Structure 1
Amino acid sequence: MQFNHYLNFQGETEVAFNFYKSVFGGEFSHFQKYTDLADAQIAEHEKDYVLHVSLPINAFTELMGSDTSEQFCAQNSAPFIKGNNHYISINLDASEQAEAKRLFDALSVNGQVEMPLEKTFWGAIYGAFTDQFGVKWMINCQLEDH
């Protein structure tokens, strides 16, 4: 199991992560924009937004992030607020699916689920929620290489 920090922005992810890369060094292990998806359902002015970026900091930590779209914020009744754009991301291997479900179910009790834990297009089961104390979490259990 690995804990990482996940940052959301609204159109500033690429600039922010290039800055973080200049500070921490290294190369992105993953960088994908919404335009890389053939069927992206996103507003024209958001087509160049970052879908996901990962910057390894050391052998145990990655700084990750993405741009939130207006549509995503509207669907989840969670407006983007600069300064409240941070998640704790728990990343598990395919062999830990039961643990991913246990953690999601336990941590989200009395909280608000943004995305239920379910299979995704990037080959994982994933879910996001705010716990009862206002802490934002993501659970990502990679099922296949992507």
Structure 2
Amino acid sequence: MKINAYLNFDGKCEEAFKFYESVLGGKIEAIIRYDEMPEGGDFPPESAKNVMHALLTIGDNVLMGSDAPPPYFQKAQGMTVAINVDTPDEAKRLFADLSKDAEGVMMPLGETSWAQQFAMFTDRFGTPWIVNCAKLMHTA
């Protein structure tokens, strides 16, 4: 079993996924538009060129998303996409790139009791993120 995030956007899915592809070093495997669905579908005509489904692979991880047609779009709440990295430098790079023009930074990148580097923010597309570079924990 694999669990992955499925993100919803208000018309900016393709732009967001191209941004995530470049920042996260992934590969967009699919972008399917509403008017390309072989099954057809009942969607507003202004949504025809919006993204019905996007798939981005990053190593063995998957991020998926779509432009939710009106009136179904809602900003993300009660969830965060968490990225765990091995080095403080990678945390710094990801935070700098992903948080550029962010909607908000709840916790700027810095050291915590559990992490060499940790940050919480909402990117310019409305996606909430955590970037975490854990400390090595010693147990007795």
TM-score by length of 2: 0.50
Other-structure match for 1:9: 9
Give the number of the structure whose residues are more often helix, by fraction. 1
Q: Where do 1:65-80 residues align within 5 Å? A: 65-70=65-70, 73=72, 80=73
In the TM superposition, residue 87 of structure 1 has moved relative to its aligned partner by 8.8
What SS does the corresponding residue of 2:11 show, helix, strand or coil? coil
In the TM superposition, residue 15 of structure 1 has moved relative to its aligned partner by 0.6
Work out the percentage of aligned pairs sharing the same amino acid.
35
Q: Where do 1:78-93 residues align within 5 Å? A: 80-84=73-77
Other-structure match for 1:46: 47
What SS does the corresponding residue of 1:20 show, helix, strand or coil? helix
The CA RMSD measured in Å over matched residues stands at 2.3
What SS does the corresponding residue of 1:66 show, helix, strand or coil? strand
Higher Cα Rg, which structure: 2
Quick one: distance in 1 between partners of 2:37 and 2:31? 12
Quick one: distance in 2 between partners of 1:43 and 1:26? 31
Structure 1: gaps spanning 5 or more residues:
74-79, 89-146
TM-score by length of 1: 0.48
Aligned AA for 2:66?
Answer: S
- Count, aligned residues: 80
Structure 2: gaps spanning 5 or more residues:
82-140
